Structure 1
């Protein structure tokens, strides 16, 4: 079960047992007092184990409400199937973009089989689904798919936020393929009058009708144009924070400084997990000589706003000269 839901259920059980204990005394009902006290200890132990358990695989809880849902009875099958398909597409595109580089504007997503989620539970109430990573082997560290799922959940939480600055931050994380699916997803929710609650690890947020309509409006009003370019210059890289500063010469002959995030492929090079094509690199030596690098620039164009550029360091090609 999704850890956040498991914690919530145990806390609810603990609250119920506390109420029962408060309604009686050990002297008046020694057997009941003993039974409920033992039950309380069991719940507290289970709660402690769940809260300290590391979650290293991908898991996501999606709860729908509004138009497509009939109370706790069920949900429109066509809506549920297509909405889950959109969510899986968002996860697959994010995962493939992180692991295999820039996606083509059209065509199949590379290695989509490695990012497939399983529906492991159906939750009643406002009808919901628990999605989990298909792999069953325990992991010592977070899987790449968990990182992708966490990032999609973060984008969903921000794209419908009232605070424009929160949305602007989310927009910098989008690419062309993800934006297309987001448009489709929020259009589907808005046209069906649906709401959505998302539970991801310790995160729990609701996209109500206002947030869904706002997310639809925003995703339809934004356009993203991407381009990759190889450049030569001085690179300063912070692997822990996954940020970089790159100093090069601009088209006008003056100094040009690009700042942004670092792709997982570069991190693998730095952490000595690279393949034959990209040998390991010591980050401390990077500023000592000019480097040729590949940088992806995403230009975000929104109505009535000046275009904004977001940079990602995609690959360390090699020392120049």
Structure 2
């Protein structure tokens, strides 16, 4: 059970018990007072135990209301299946992006099994579903899947927020295939007139009808186009800690600047820098260009160093 949800349930029980205790005294109802007092003490102790637990595995709750929900009885099965599937798609794609890097324009997504979530029924409160990390092994630090889910929820929240600046920044780091799933996620919510509450360990995000509509409009109006890597030759300067590069194509002219691709940085960059023949030297390199089209703004172009081919003599 998600720690935040378990604490909410315990607090609700404790509130109900305290209300009943206020209606009784030890003199007027000694047995009832004793039983309720014991129940109160048990709940307080349990809350202390839960609060002391450190949870490092991924877990997120999706709670629904609005069009697809039938009172407190249940939820439209087709809607629930589509929503959970699209949320899982976003998690899988973000996991692949952070672990592998460029996932390609189509085809299977790398490390998909590592990002699988399992669904647990949530029987208390609003109609909803709890998604938890499939791996049940103990973790002494936050798992990568937990970190990824944090990033997915941050992006969903940014897309739906009143201020669109956070979403503008998220677009620069987003994969085109993730953007597609994000747009479909909001589209399904909007068409069913659903309201969603996303609950994590440390926060909750409320997606009202207006927020869902904003998310759909922003994700639908944005586009990300990555070019195929092209060869360029110039003098290379790299900041490895920040994963930034500068490529001086012509001495004295404005340099080309941008990020170093994650997969290249992990695989080859450290060895090149250790050899001492990369920084400030002329190289033939592979550069990928990204064009982000955003609502009501001019397209934004960025560059990524995806590989260094060979050193070029001056």
Shift in CA distance, 58/262, structure 1 to aligned 2, threshold 3 Å: farther
The structure 1 residue matched to 2:238, chosen from 235, 238, 247, is 235
Shift in CA distance, 96/244, structure 1 to aligned 2, threshold 3 Å: closer
Where do residues 1-321 of structure 1 align in structure 2 (5 Å cutoff)?
Answer: 1-26=1-26, 31-123=31-123, 125-227=125-227, 233-238=236-241, 243-250=242-249, 253-256=252-255, 258=257, 263=262, 266=265, 269=266, 278=268, 289-290=279-280, 298-309=290-301
Distance (Å, rounded) in 2 between the aligned partners of 1:316 and 1:43:
61
Shift in CA distance, 47/164, structure 1 to aligned 2, threshold 3 Å: same
Distance (Å, rounded) in 2 between the aligned partners of 1:88 and 1:295:
31
Gaps of at least 5 residues in structure 1 are 270-276
Shift in CA distance, 165/80, structure 1 to aligned 2, threshold 3 Å: same
Contact kept? 2:236, 2:278, Cα under 8 Å? no
Distance (Å, rounded) in 1 between the aligned partners of 2:250 and 2:190:
45
Contact kept? 2:162, 2:211, Cα under 8 Å? yes
Task: Please state how far the C-alpha of 1:247 moved relative to its aligned partner.
Answer: 3.4
Deviations 1:241-295 (A, max 9, x none): xx444333156753537466984884xx5xxxxxxx5596799999994488877
Task: Please state how far the C-alpha of 1:41 moved relative to its aligned partner.
Answer: 3.3
Deviations 1:120-159 (A, max 9, x none): 2233543200010111111111111111111111111111
Contact kept? 1:2, 1:59, Cα under 8 Å? yes
Distance (Å, rounded) in 1 between the aligned partners of 2:250 and 2:9:
60
Contact kept? 1:26, 1:33, Cα under 8 Å? yes
Distance (Å, rounded) in 2 between the aligned partners of 1:72 and 1:98:
38
Task: Please state how far the C-alpha of 1:54 moved relative to its aligned partner.
Answer: 1.8
Distance (Å, rounded) in 1 between the aligned partners of 2:53 and 2:311:
44
Task: Please state how far the C-alpha of 1:181 moved relative to its aligned partner.
Answer: 0.9
Shift in CA distance, 172/43, structure 1 to aligned 2, threshold 3 Å: farther
Task: Please state how far the C-alpha of 1:296 moved relative to its aligned partner.
Answer: 5.9
Q: Which moved more, 1:47-56 or 1:286-295?
A: 286-295
Contact kept? 2:235, 2:249, Cα under 8 Å? no
In angstroms, what is the RMSD of aligned CA positions?
Answer: 3.5
Q: Which moved more, 1:115-124 or 1:27-36?
A: 27-36
Shift in CA distance, 56/286, structure 1 to aligned 2, threshold 3 Å: farther
- TM-score computed with the length of structure 2 as normaliser: 0.82
Shift in CA distance, 320/183, structure 1 to aligned 2, threshold 3 Å: same
Deviations 1:34-90 (A, max 9, x none): 544443333233222222322211111011221111111111111111111111111
Distance (Å, rounded) in 2 between the aligned partners of 1:264 and 1:54:
32
Distance (Å, rounded) in 1 between the aligned partners of 2:312 and 2:52:
48
Contact kept? 1:71, 1:125, Cα under 8 Å? no
- TM-score computed with the length of structure 1 as normaliser: 0.80
- For these two proteins, the number of residue pairs brought into alignment is 308
Which secondary structure does the structure 1 equivalent of 2:81 belong to?
A: helix
- Of structures 1 and 2, the larger Rg is shown by 2
Distance (Å, rounded) in 2 between the aligned partners of 1:191 and 1:25:
53
Distance (Å, rounded) in 2 between the aligned partners of 1:278 and 1:175:
22
